[in-house]
Amino acid sequence: MVVATDVTTHVEARLQLEAAEQRFRMISDNIAQLAWMANAEGSIFGITNVGLILLAQH
């Protein structure tokens, strides 16, 4: 007995997500603005390079 599962849609969705994440990282790494991301509890999990530079100065 052979069982096969077509994972084409899953692979395409993963590739699209990876491409979108790469574009987001490129934009956020190159903007000259302070920006950050935080979860609902307020914990920061993402910050732009400008934000890191400003934090390092204090």
25-54 pLDDT, tens digit each: 999 889 999 999 999 999 998 999 898 898
Q: What pLDDT does residue 40 have?
A: 97
Stated pTM of the model: 0.66
Rounded Cα gap, residues 5 and 53, in angstroms: 48
CA dihedral 22, 24, 28, 33 (to 10 degrees): 160
